């Protein structure tokens, strides 16, 4: 469906052509006997917000209709292919998505579609569009405004904030201010329907698309008293293990985890140390419990990256290569400002 049927703005200028890609989420949900579930199509969403017709011309694709809890890496690849196959036809892209895994999807698309000069905007809502009190309409309006601007790359537009795709994290489960930008400023804000941009992402003349992901990436969150058994179990079944440690990073010295990491790396596994603390990142060299990991074993360190970005980046890297030196090189090479700290 093309919406609206006219293609010029109120001053006669050509309207931007935007592709709306629906994947489900709360924004498209209605109440069912079993609770909220995605029911509405992209066409139905647009029909609730006729004012979008004054912003841009919209085509719709209903790619999925899922609660975002059910989103997996195969769906990320579907979204990237949908954008790739239609990239030359449109000026920008809006993806409606559930909030629970939106940050993972935004990070993944940042690696699967690199250097896009055209906007790729994800948005959603904390309350369905049919509710009296909803953030759906303003978020969707703002997303189309941003997709019609010079806003390169992947971003999340939510609660009038524009957040870089590799830096977003859902930090509130119910409030309209659901997302935060971690260790990086917002790209901009929207005020009275106007985008005030603080930062413009770098981009190429054309995007670079990737299709391969290696999903054999596991995440272990440390708790006091944890031993190596869980890590051994995960390493047996995966090619990479991300360990969310405490504070600036390290491993409990009596847990056996140091030996587990050493053995895993000797088998060619990729191991990344990050922190459970949202802000300011890791720094393994500060304390004795982390110093040997960095200087003796040479584990990868996430520094200021979000866990969502680490997961998606490893899947992308391991989809291209399994050689440890190449993995380390790609991991520490910034993509869409995902890592700012130096590798040394």
Q: Contact at 8 Å (CB) between 273 and 307?
A: no
- Of 7, 8, 23, 26, the catalytic one is 26
For the record, the structure tokens of 55 come out as 């912003």
Work out the number of other CB atoms within 10 angstroms of the CB of residue 65.
18
E strand intervals along 75-118: 92-96, 113-114
For the record, the structure tokens of 290 come out as 């982390």
Work out the number of other CB atoms within 10 angstroms of the CB of residue 235.
22
β-bridge pairing 161-164 and 153-158: antiparallel
- CA distances for 95 relative to 42, 92, 154, 156, angstroms: 10, 10, 10, 9
CA distance 174 to 165: 21
Tokens 């992901």 found at: 213
CA distance 52 to 20: 12
Q: Is 26 a catalytic residue?
A: yes
DSSP string, 253-305: TTSSHHHHHHHHHHTT-EEEEEES-SSS---TTSSHHHHHIIIII--EE-TT-
For the record, the structure tokens of 110 come out as 């940042």
* Nearest C-alpha neighbor of 28 from the set 76, 102, 97, 121: 97
Burial 66-81 (b: 16+ CB within 10 A, else e): bbbeebebebbbebbe
Q: Write out the catalytic residue numbers.
A: 26
């Amino acid at each position: 469906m093309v919406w609206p049927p006219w293609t010029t703005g109120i001053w006669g200028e050509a309207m931007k052509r935007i592709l709306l890609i629906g994947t489900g989420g709360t924004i498209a949900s209605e109440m069912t006997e079993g609770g909220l579930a995605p029911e509405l199509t992209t066409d139905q969403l647009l029909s609730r917000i006729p004012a979008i017709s004054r912003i841009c011309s919209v085509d719709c694709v209903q790619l999925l209709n899922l609660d975002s809890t059910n989103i997996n890496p195969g769906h990320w690849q579907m979204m990237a292919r949908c954008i790739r196959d239609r990239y030359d036809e449109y000026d920008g892209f809006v993806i409606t998505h559930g909030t629970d895994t939106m940050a993972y999807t935004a990070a993944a698309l940042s690696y699967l579609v690199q250097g896009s000069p055209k906007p790729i905007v994800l948005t959603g809502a904390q309350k369905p569009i049919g509710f009296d009190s909803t953030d759906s309409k303003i978020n969707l309006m703002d997303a189309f405004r941003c997709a019609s601007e010079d806003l390169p790359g992947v971003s999340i537009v939510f609660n009038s904030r524009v957040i870089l795709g590799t830096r977003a994290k859902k930090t509130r489960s119910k409030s309209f201010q659901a997302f935060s930008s971690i260790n990086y400023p917002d790209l901009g804000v929207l005020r009275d329907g106007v985008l005030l941009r603080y930062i413009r992402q770098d981009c190429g003349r054309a995007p670079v698309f990737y299709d391969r992901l290696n999903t054999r990436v596991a995440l272990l969150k440390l708790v006091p008293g944890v031993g190596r058994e869980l890590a051994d179990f995960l390493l047996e079944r995966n090619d990479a293990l991300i360990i969310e440690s405490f504070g600036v990073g390290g491993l409990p010295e009596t847990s056996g985890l140091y030996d587990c990491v050493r053995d895993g790396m000797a088998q060619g596994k990729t191991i990344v140390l990050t922190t459970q603390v949202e802000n300011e990142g890791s720094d393994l060299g500060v304390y004795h419990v982390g110093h040997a990991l960095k200087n003796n074993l040479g584990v990868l360190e996430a520094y200021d990256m979000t866990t969502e970005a680490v997961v998606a980046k490893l899947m992308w890297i391991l989809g291209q290569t399994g050689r440890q030196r190449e993995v380390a090189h790609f991991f520490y090479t910034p993509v869409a400002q995902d890592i700012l700290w130096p590798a040394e």
